[in-house]
Every structure is written in C-alpha cells, then in structure tokens.
Amino acid sequence: MQIDTKIIAHRGSRGTRPENTLVSFQTAINEGAEGIETDVHFSKDKQFIIMHDETVDRTTNGTGLIMDKTLGEIKKLDAGIRFSEEFKGTQVPTLQEVVNMLMKINFTGIFNLELKTNKIHYPGLERAVYEYFAGLRYPFQLIYSSFNGKSLEILNKIDPKAYEARLFKTAAKQAKTLKRSKVVEDFHPDIKWIKQHPFYAPARHLRPWVVNSTEDMQYCFERNMAAVITDYPGRAVQLRSEMRGGLI
C-alpha cells in the first residue's frame, strides 16, 4: 500500500517521555518521526518557553503562570519528575535550545510550532518568533499553527510566505474562512472531529491530532492524509511500515 502520510511527534514522544523536553524530541526523531510538534509561550522576561499549558503546574514541580516567571525561575523547575523518577532533573527547554538541537542533527523534517495565544495573547509573540527565525538558516520545514486565528493573520501580514495551519476542534467555519483568504495552507483538526466529517477537506491538507490508537492510525494511513500528529511516533512508524509492506 502506498502511504505518504508523515508522522509528527506531538510534544515529542509524549507517550514515552516527559512532553516538550529535549529528550522527548530526540526520542521521537530516533524512532523515525518526520516531524516535531511543540508549543511556545513568552516568559516574564520575553523569552521563548516550550511548554503546552499556560501554567507550569501539570508538567513540572512548580506552580504559576509562565508569563509571571523569568527564564531563570523556569530553568530551576523539574520537567521530568511528574512523568517518572527516571527523568528527574529534566529542564524546561527554550525554543532556541530545541532549534539548536534540530540544527545540530541537521533535521530536515517538519517543525510545527504552535503559538499558544488562544488563552493568553502574549502581545508581540508573533513578530518576535518571526524575527527569530528570519535570522536563521535552518534545514527543517517550519509550520506555524494556532487555535487563535488572529495570530495566524498577524503572521500572514508580517510574512505572507509563512506556512501556516489552523488547529481546531469545532471552529471549522473559521478555518475554512482563513483558507479562502489564503491565510492558512492546511488544517490540523481533532481526529474525532474529522471522523465525523470525512468529506471536510482533501486528505493532502489534513494533519489530524491526537492520533494514538491503532484504529485511528490505520484510518489516516488508509486515506493517505498529509500527516498524523501522535503521542506515540514509534508505534505509528511501525504500523505504517507494516501497512506499506502489506502485512496489515
């Protein structure tokens, strides 16, 4: 079976490593993922912080909002202990540290950066991220995504050539509007939503999340979607290989 679907690691190999950490991203790449998905916030001192939530409570041994903490304070937190004792002492990475890691290994896959502006706007984040990447020569394909359509519109005005995708659970109407306006290229819908709306968009424009079960992976591979975003990239790589070889 021909399957061109790429595998994007959701916050790295989130199912097997502490999410959004360097060890999680490196594990995913070692497992064969062709893409990395992660999230960026602003700290109190306007540093790029890689974390999913707006607070540090769930994934570290600290408490409070990222926007209320300096980079130095965030670096003192343990981002591995809540996942497992094995990863005790793992630090919260900055965007620069993640990019440096990818450049060091000459990663040529997808780097999907989600701007976490849907709950806290972080004024100036869009331009700051753009200017950071504008000053680099990086080997990977950079894709911006966000649940906040305004952030994508701001990025599009700054750089009309920026490759952007709209994340959504149910805001499909807004996503379509952004597509028609040429603000976004592709859609990153919830896999549950896309299975309920199978004719929403051509498979080549879909990268559903979070595709973790064997059933959902097969569903996406059979339809040759652009990519799947998964917590278990190693498992997805293995299943895709078996399907390509006609073993399933």
Q: Using CA atoms, how far apart are residues 134 and 74, in angstroms rounded to an integer? A: 26
52 labelled catalytic: yes
**Catalytic pick among 41, 52, 188, 205:** 52
DSSP string, 170-216: S-HHHHHHHHHTTS-SEEEEBHHHHHHSTTSS-GGGB--B---SHHH
Q: Using CA atoms, how far apart are residues 150 and 148, in angstroms rounded to an integer? A: 5
Query: 214-222 and 233-244 helices cross at what angle (nearest 10)?
Result: 50
Q: Using CA atoms, how far apart are residues 139 and 209, in angstroms rounded to an integer? A: 25
**Catalytic pick among 10, 41, 197, 205:** 10
205 labelled catalytic: no
Catalytic (active-site) positions: 10, 52
